[in-house]
Structure 1
């Protein structure tokens, strides 16, 4: 499974809201700057019209009084009431030369705009652009009235206005994000309950149910979750019941097979040994050369009876309910130590009081240990196998470790691991099997004591 980065839904939605809000602020700022630029140029056009009209009146007055002294153009009268910081008034003749120019000084701004903003603003709006109006008297063009503003002044004014928007954005955006995050946290609070419910379902607590939610979407999830939990609980109960019946049937078949082997095959082997003994006595008197064959038959029958005795012990274990789990497991381990002839060493340790353990759990634990020891000794070729059985207040833990070959559990255990899993599942327990890094394997079984409330496997059939 790929490891993908995880993002909190509230944070992701809040960031998206912040990005959309910032984009809206940027659009509003751009609209404001465009509107302000147009208003500034419209103002320059109006001033240029006023200057041109004033100059036309001056030229008309000169021609009317026929004054030989001409002070045209004279921008002083108009500059008295239109001048602003950074504004320049000029008269450009028809030859293109500036005949008169009047500019007002501009104080250095207290907070000059950043160079990046200055370059950005000048590239988009051209703040030094002039506004010109022709000066026409009696149909003849005398020149142009030219009005302009120093680019630095217009840029500083634009930055001053944009700064107020940025200040508003700096205050409003974090506040908006905080409010959105709080609203999302409140609206998505039920998702914590959904996550907790899923975690409990994953832990095999199928009794988990979600409460009603206010949101329609979450209510639909709640209905689907509860329906799924009910279906899983029903399916698991049916599976557990079927597993108990199958295990009970398997144990009954083993007992039946053990009886058949003991009654038929065991008696036949005993008869063969008796016949071999009788034949040896006859051969000792009449034909001594047959003594070796008679002894071979007897030894073969004895070996088969030993093998049969071990098979019967695995098929029909001692009565765990009468002997107790501790005594039965100690006998099982002692039997394996005796049969291994020093090739494999088995050890077992108990921690807890197992006298009151129900027969259902005792029988299943015995079968699990029996299968695990067989796997470790025959399939893993282990030299040391250690068992530890611990009984707590609410569960029983079984740990089996060996130093055998660290192979795949299925290939190593065959159907044995599957049988153990089924027995553990029937008791609502958990089983894990893993290979150790340095060789060997570890089997862990945890069975809740609540499984004792279930009917015994023999009665489940």
Structure 2
């Protein structure tokens, strides 16, 4: 879950809890107000009944045990005004049946929903009556009982709760919206930091984060900037070391190729000549020795062929003298010749194997390519062709080189239809692919492994710049 979403949900939960608490408090306060109003109505009726009774005694002289105190005057309009709307009052004089009078429902509002009525009844129960005694001449003359009508109480509670909670909900929605905007604005640096880290993952170590206003984000930005600077320095050092290692490797290959050619090649040439001389001298007298000599000569020829292919891998053609385009053509021709040799050496009746055909496409001129960039491209192409031939069963392997963009550099792609999976190749990268990555990274280029346009096989693409190598590499 995103941090902004989580914070918004927490704000909504807090707002909902506050609204629930406010609703409960308002309902409790309304119930307390209803109880207080019932008490006040009872007290007012008692005072009014007492005053009416005294007027009866004073003006009509009605006294004695059978006197009808305040009857029927207590039902007058003056008495109705002292009973709050929604309340019912019963007045019972001594030894008489009680007489009930209720206030009107004017201003009580609309009827509440059924769920609110049920909740209010469950929380507070039925309204409790308030009882007061009317005393005249220090003796009890009657009793007043005031009680809030349940429907009126529910209406009053719903009216107050709906108004208060509605206002509170509107305020809470506004506060929540403002809080969301403020929190979103405060968390905007996090998105920028994440984008910077993603770019760092791709090898862009030249990015720097600004100093944010928030202290916590400012500390994170400073740490990220220090990390990118350190990674850039480390990557530059590693690239320089890798380039030096490849230079040493090329020097060692040249030395090894020279030694093999001078020493091993001369020995094989001498052994072949001696075997031919022995076969010619013993052909008549000792045909068995001549046969062994011819066998030695055949073995020597095979060893010479192996030596030539090894020398071709160790020591590429002289790019300054031959040129990159002809060197790549010779490399493709060597792979096609190797496939033809395998097909010719296949025993009769054996199950035929797919012998891949190697193709070369060159776009633009490669004459302006620097020697070092051309050598690295040759080595990368050599390793890519080896991987395509060894780790798949392609019927065609196509090498494409584009060198007509001096700004972009050399673009190389090796595409095969061997049915391999790029993701599996990425997960189980061997030393050959690791070497390609390191070489491209040391040169400041980019490398990508994907499916070709046809959707079958693997396509390895690399870009090698002409100019000075940048500090880092970007792997697609």
Task: Answer whether TM exceeds 0.5 for this pair.
Answer: yes
Q: TM-score, normalised by structure 2?
A: 0.82
Q: For 1:167 and 1:414, how far apart are their aligned partners in 2?
A: 68
Q: Secondary structure at the match of 2:90?
A: strand
Match in the other structure for 1:99:
98
**Pair 1:402-2:416 in alignment:** yes
Structure 2: distance between partners of 1:396 and 1:390: 6
* Segment drifting more, 220-229 vs 360-369: 360-369
Inter-CA distance 396–107: structure 2 relative to 1 (3 Å threshold): farther
Shift of 1:369: 1.5
Q: Secondary structure at the match of 1:132?
A: strand
Q: CA shift at 1:141, angstroms?
A: 4.6
Q: Structure 1 residues 311 and 440 mapped into 2: Cα distance closer, same or farther (>3 Å)?
A: farther
Q: SS at the partner of 2:467? A: helix
Query: Aligned runs of 1:192-203 on 2, under 5 Å?
Result: 192-203=191-202
Tell which deviates more after alignment, 263-272 or 174-183: 174-183
Aligned to 2:67: 70
Match of 1:180 in 2: 179
1:453 paired to 2:471: no
Residue 374 of structure 2 aligns to a residue whose secondary structure is helix
Query: Match of 1:388?
Result: 400
Counterpart CA distance in 2 for 1:243 and 1:16 is 52
Shift of 1:93: 7.0
Deviation, 1:48, is: 1.4
How well do the aligned residues superpose, as a CA RMSD in angstroms?
Answer: 3.2
Task: Say which SS state the counterpart of residue 329 (structure 1) adopts.
Answer: helix
Partner residue, 1:458: none
**1:356 is aligned to 2:371:** no
The answer to whether the Cα contact below 8 Å between 2:268 and 2:300 also exists between their aligned partners in 1 is yes
Cα distance in 2 for residues equivalent to 1:42 and 1:399: 90
Residues 289 and 125 (structure 1), Cα distance of their counterparts in 2 relative to 1, 3 Å cut: closer
**What does residue 459 of structure 1 align with?**
none
**1:453 alignment partner, SS class:** coil
**Deviation per residue, 1:181-212 (Å, 9 max, x gap):** 33233333333432332222122110111111
User: What CA distance in whole angstroms lies between the structure 2 residues aligned with 1:300 and 1:228?
Assistant: 59
Which runs of 5 or more residues in structure 1 are unaligned? 1-5, 456-461
Are positions 1:43 and 2:37 aligned together? yes
Deviation at 1:374, TM superposition (A): 2.0
Aligned partner of residue 386 in structure 2, secondary structure: helix
Aligned to 2:382: 370
Residue 426 of structure 1 pairs with residue 466 of structure 2: no
Write the deviation string for residues 315-355 of structure 1: whole angstroms up to 9, x where unpaired: 11112344333221111011110111152211122234433
Go from structure 1 to structure 2 and tell me whether the alpha carbon gap of 1:395 and 1:168 turns closer, same or farther (over 3 Å shift): farther
Shift of the alpha carbon at 1:433?
A: 4.4
Q: Residues 66 and 327 (structure 1 numbering): CA distance in 2 closer, same or farther, change over 3 Å?
A: same
Cα drift, residue 252 of structure 1: 1.4
Q: How does 1:221-232 map to 2 (within 5 A)?
A: 221-232=220-231
Shift of 1:53: 4.4
The whole-number CA distance in structure 1 between the counterparts of 2:427 and 2:49 is 108
CA–CA separation in structure 2 for the residues paired with 1:378 and 1:192: 45
Q: Which moved more, 1:225-234 or 1:313-322?
A: 313-322
Shift of 1:439: 10
Alignment partner, residue 473 of structure 2: none
User: Distance between the aligned counterparts of 1:411 and 1:260, measured in 2?
Assistant: 38
Tell whether 2:343 aligns with 1:344.
no
Cα separation, 2, equivalents of 1:390 and 1:73 = 117
Question: 2:15 maps to which residue?
Answer: 21
TM-score, length-scaled by structure 1: 0.85
Matched, 1:268 2:248: no
Partner Cα separation in structure 1 for residue 213 and residue 190 of structure 2: 12
Counterpart of 1:357 in 2: which secondary structure? coil
Q: Shift in Å at residue 94 of structure 1? A: 8.1
Residues 43-70 of structure 1: CA deviation (Å, up to 9, x unaligned): 2112212333444566677598535752
Cα 1:282–1:173, aligned 2, differ >3 Å: closer, same or farther?
same
User: Given the alignment of the two structures, is residue 31 of structure 1 paired with residue 31 of structure 2, yes or no?
Assistant: no
Aligned residue pair count: 446
- Could you tell me how far apart the structure 2 residues matched to 1:34 and 1:411 are? 67
Looking at structure 2, the residues matched to 368 and 262 of structure 1 have their Cα atoms a distance apart, in angstroms, of 24
C-alpha distance in structure 2 between counterparts of 1:238 and 1:86, whole Å:
89
Are 1:52 and 2:46 matched, yes or no?
yes
| 1:398 CA displacement | 2.9
Match runs of 1:198-237 below 5 Å: 198-237=197-236
